[in-house]
């Protein structure tokens, strides 16, 4: 197989490691591989359903094979950060740091990002990834098969392991068009899944004409903006636990959350019995914060900000060491109290 193109039907069957008849049967009954795992009433008349794919199913094994042997070879524009190896959320924010001047920030949200992508979008994108020398009938079979493998009820859903890379693949042309438009206006553009972030020093990205142009570009593929989630900020942007300005800082709310956890560890939890599971839950939460603070530290240039973060990392490490030495007692532990603590800590994230 070419680094990113499937040569023929035989190569495709070898790639997914099931026979043609087996694939036909799996796709015929693919609804049995999914189950409803989450229902969220966002509004009175709006229910959001998320499906999960059974990891023991043959459909999952085929998706995993495609992910590891085929989709992993795809390349995406440098402004795309979501679901990309060795790129993270802070990488998505970093290009917008305003070290050379005061910036205007604009965050736009793509409405129903995964749900907007249907099987026809996917088929159109996949044409490029089948070799030109492939027989037309075989090419159609491969494209139709992959599209069926990665969709549920003809839509891309969040429960499939291939959905993230497929979403980037479908949005690729739009990313390129948006990037070209932004370059003409001296605007920086990055995208993390359904979050699009724009910033400009000389150009006002808050202008309705700019937002309308972005809406027009993504409309070509059936996407639309969720205007309720639009954020317009000047000088600094607070977003998902970070503050973006001349540097990247961790938000006050994040600090409150970790301080709340450290307070319990230092002054309360050591006075009562705790269960083994609760102990390791707290260690994992602290380890996650430690990882986050270390990650942010790589992007910080302000010496005072660096010092604050380094101090907090040291406090977190001290907390991890302290709780690691606690002797758990499953019998004497109060589960309701533990749940209350976790609820309070998580509510501050």
With bands split at pLDDT 50, 70 and 90, how would you rate the model's confidence at 45? Answer: very low
In the prediction, which pLDDT does 253 show? 86
Read off the pLDDT of residues 71-124 as tens digits, 9 standing for 90 and up. 988 889 999 999 998 899 999 999 998 766 778 999 999 999 998 999 999 999
Convert the pLDDT of each residue in 261-305 to its tens digit. Answer: 898 888 866 666 778 888 888 899 999 999 999 989 988 888 888
Which residues lie across from 110 on neighbouring strands?
Answer: 225
Residue 146 has pLDDT above 90, yes or no: yes
336: left (phi over 0), alpha (psi -120 to 50) or beta: alpha
Q: What is the pLDDT of residues 221-261, one digit of tens each?
A: 999 999 999 999 998 999 988 999 888 889 888 898 899 88
Domains of the chain: 76-117+156-246 (3.30.70.270), 251-348 (no CATH)
pTM (two decimals): 0.84
Q: Are 280 and 323 in contact (CB under 8 A)?
A: no
């Amino acid at each position: 197989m070419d680094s990113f193109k499937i040569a023929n039907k035989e190569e495709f069957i070898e790639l997914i490691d099931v026979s043609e008849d087996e694939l036909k049967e799996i796709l015929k009954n693919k609804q049995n591989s999914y189950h409803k795992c989450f229902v969220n009433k966002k509004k009175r008349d709006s229910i959001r359903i998320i499906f999960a794919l059974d990891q023991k199913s043959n459909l999952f094994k085929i998706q995993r094979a495609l992910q590891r042997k085929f989709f992993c070879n795809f390349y995406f524009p440098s402004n795309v950060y979501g679901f990309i190896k060795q790129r993270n959320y802070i990488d998505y924010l970093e290009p917008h740091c305003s070290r050379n001047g005061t910036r205007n920030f604009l965050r736009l949200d793509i409405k129903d990002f995964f749900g907007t992508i249907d099987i026809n979008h996917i088929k159109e994108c996949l044409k490029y990834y089948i070799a030109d020398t492939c027989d037309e009938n075989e090419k159609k079979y491969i494209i139709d098969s992959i599209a069926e493998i990665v969709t549920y009820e003809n839509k891309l859903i969040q429960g499939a392991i291939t959905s993230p890379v497929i979403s980037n693949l479908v949005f690729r042309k739009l990313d390129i068009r948006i990037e070209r438009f932004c370059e003409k206006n001296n605007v920086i553009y990055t995208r993390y899944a359904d979050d699009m972030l724009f910033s400009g020093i000389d150009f006002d990205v808050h202008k309705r004409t700019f937002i309308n142009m972005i809406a027009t570009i993504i409309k070509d593929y059936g996407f639309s903006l969720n205007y309720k989630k639009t954020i317009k900020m000047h000088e600094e942007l607070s977003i998902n636990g970070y503050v973006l300005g001349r540097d990247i800082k961790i938000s006050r709310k994040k600090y409150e959350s970790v301080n709340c956890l450290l307070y319990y560890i230092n002054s309360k939890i050591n006075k009562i019995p705790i269960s083994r599971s609760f102990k390791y839950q707290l260690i994992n939460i602290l380890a996650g914060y430690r990882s986050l603070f270390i990650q942010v530290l790589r992007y910080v240039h302000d010496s005072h900000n660096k010092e604050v973060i380094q101090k907090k990392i040291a406090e977190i490490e001290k907390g991890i060491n302290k709780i690691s030495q606690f002797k758990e007692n499953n019998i004497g532990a109060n589960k309701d109290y533990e749940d209350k603590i976790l609820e309070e800590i998580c509510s501050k994230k």
